[in-house]
Amino acid sequence: MDFTLSEEQLMIQQAAKDFAQTELLPGVIERDETQKFPEELRKKMGELGFLGMMVNEKYGGSGLDTLSYVLAMEELSKVDASASVMVSVNNSLVCWGLETFGTESQKEKYLTRLSTGEVIGAFCLSEPEAGSDATSQKTTAIDNGDHYTLNGTKNWITNGSSAEVFLVIAQTHVEKGHKGINALIVEKGMEGFEIGPKENKLGIRGSDTHSLIFNDVKVPKENRIGEDGFGFKFAMKTLAGGRIGIAAQALGIAAGAYELALKYSKVRKSFGTEIANHQAIAFKLADMHTKIQAARNLVYQAACDKDTGKDYSLSGAMAKLYASEVAMETAVEAVQIHGGNGYVKEYHVERLMRDAKITQIYEGTSEIQKIVISRSIIKD
Ligand code: CAA
Ligand code: FAD
Report CA(370)–ligand 1 centroid distance (Å): 13
What is the reported pLDDT for 45? 97
List pLDDT tens digits, range 186-243.
999 999 999 999 999 999 999 999 999 999 999 999 999 999 999 999 999 999 999 9
* Banded model confidence at residue 2, pLDDT cuts 50, 70, 90: confident
Model confidence at 78: pLDDT above 80? yes
DSSP 193-262: EEEEEEP--SS-TTS-EEEEEEEEEEEEGGGB-SSTT-HHHHHHHHHHHHHHHHHHHHHHHHHHHHHHHH
**Average pLDDT of span 152-157:** 98
Model confidence at 1: pLDDT above 80? no
Interface predicted TM-score (ipTM) of this complex, two decimals:
0.99
Question: What does the longest C-alpha to C-alpha distance in the chain come to?
Answer: 78
Report CA(258)–ligand 1 centroid distance (Å): 33
Report CA(189)–ligand 1 centroid distance (Å): 29
Residues 222 and 256 in one domain: no
**Whole-number CA gyration radius for the chain:** 21
List pLDDT tens digits, range 83-125.
999 999 999 999 999 999 999 999 999 999 999 999 999 999 9
Q: Of 205, 229, 253, which one is at a domain's C-terminal end?
A: 229
The Cα 71–Cα 380 span in angstroms is 31
Q: Residue 26 is part of which domain span?
A: 7-120
CATH number of the domain at 267, please.
Answer: 1.20.140.10
Tell the residue nearest (CA) to atom 14 of ligand 2.
132
Q: Of 82, 101, 120, which one is at a domain's C-terminal end?
A: 120
Where do the H-state alpha helices sit in the chain?
Answer: 7-19, 28-34, 39-47, 66-79, 81-88, 96-101, 104-106, 112-115, 231-265, 279-307, 313-337, 349-358, 366-379
The Cα 135–Cα 232 span in angstroms is 7
Q: Which atom of ligand 1 is nearest to the CA of 88?
A: 54
Nearest ligand, CA of residue 207? 2
Other beta carbons less than 10 A from residue 132's beta carbon: 12
CATH number of the domain at 170, please.
Answer: 2.40.110.10
Catalytic residues: 363
Residues 145 and 110 in one domain: no
Mutate to test the pocket of ligand 2, among 125, 127, 129, 156 (most ligand atoms within 8 A of CB): 156
The pTM is what? 0.98
Report CA(86)–ligand 1 centroid distance (Å): 22
Q: Which atom of ligand 1 is nearest to the CA of 313?
A: 7
* 40: exposed, middle or buried (Cβ count in 10 Å: 0-12, 13-18, 19+): exposed
Residue 199 falls inside a structural domain: yes
* Banded model confidence at residue 54, pLDDT cuts 50, 70, 90: very high
Half-sphere CA count of 243, side-chain side, radius 13 A: 33
Residues 18 and 94 in one domain: yes
Residues 190 and 251 in one domain: no
Residues 85 and 131 in one domain: no
The Cα 59–Cα 66 span in angstroms is 17
Beta strands 140-144 and 147-158 are: antiparallel
* Phi and psi based region of residue 140 (left: phi greater than 0; alpha: psi -120 to 50; beta: remaining): beta
CATH number of the domain at 66, please.
Answer: 1.10.540.10
32 contacts 205 by C-beta, under 8 angstroms = yes
Give which of 44, 203, 235 is closest to 126, Cα–Cα. Answer: 235
225 contacts 106 by C-beta, under 8 angstroms = yes
**Average pLDDT of span 290-309:** 98
What is the reported pLDDT for 309? 97
Alpha-carbon distances, residue 268 vs 272, 338, 352 (angstroms): 10, 9, 20
Residues 136 and 54 in one domain: no
Distance from the first to the final alpha carbon of the chain: 22
Nearest ligand, CA of residue 135? 1
The identity of residue 115, as a single letter, is: S
**Average pLDDT of span 269-295:** 98
Distance of CA 68 to the CA centre of its chain: 15
Residue 1 falls inside a structural domain: no
**Average pLDDT of span 8-27:** 98
Alpha-carbon distances, residue 299 vs 62, 129, 135, 246, 322 (angstroms): 21, 31, 27, 10, 9
Residue 163 falls inside a structural domain: yes
